[in-house]
Amino acid sequence: MPKPVFVLNGPNLNLLGVREPDIYGTVTLDQVKSACEARAVTLGLSVDFRQSNHEGALVDWVQEARTKACAIVINPAAYSHSSIALLDALKAAELPVIEVHLSNPAARENFRRHSYVSLAATGVIAGFGVQGYNLALDAAARLVAPAAAGT
């Protein structure tokens, strides 16, 4: 069985669907997980979907992904703008990294316009709401296809 795509979610995403629905929508994180699992099946992939409010847990999972995943889809949420530790872990993972944001950080407050995670990302998908996760999985499938063909 091929390695899964780790889909990692940062702080406050456990409140998706109830926190600022005018910005983040009304879909819950459990619904996003179900959608990711369904999309992965159509792409011939599997996902390992996780969420934590703790920076260290995210760093640990990125380090785990280095040997147990074929790619990382990450919505680092607020840690995008503050976590050099997450940046360093993503660089060390040596995997395709797709950064996802539900909103468009470039159209929001100034402090949201810089992402440390983007420095390690293969690509960034922002502003498409929860559809961004499907787009990220599509990108991951394309990025890992040559590696998957060799296994």
Give the tens place of pLDDT for each residue, 42-73: 999 999 999 999 999 999 999 999 999 999 99
Q: pTM of the entire structure?
A: 0.91
Question: Do the beta carbons of residue 75 and residue 10 sit within 8 Å?
Answer: yes
Q: Is 101 an active-site residue?
A: yes
Catalytic residue among 24, 79, 116, 133: 24
CA-wise closest residue to 74 among 48, 113, 38: 48
CATH at 89: 3.40.50.9100
Query: So what's the pLDDT on residue 26?
Result: 86
Domain hosting residue 142, numbered range = 5-146
In a domain, 52, yes or no: yes
What CA–CA distance (Å, rounded) separates 58 from 60?
Answer: 5
d(CA 151, CA 135): 24
Catalytic residue among 54, 79, 81, 101: 101
Total domains, the chain: 1
Looking at residue 113, its pLDDT comes to: 63
Unique residue bearing structure tokens 């260290």: 56
* 75, β-bridge pairs: 9
Active site includes 24?
yes
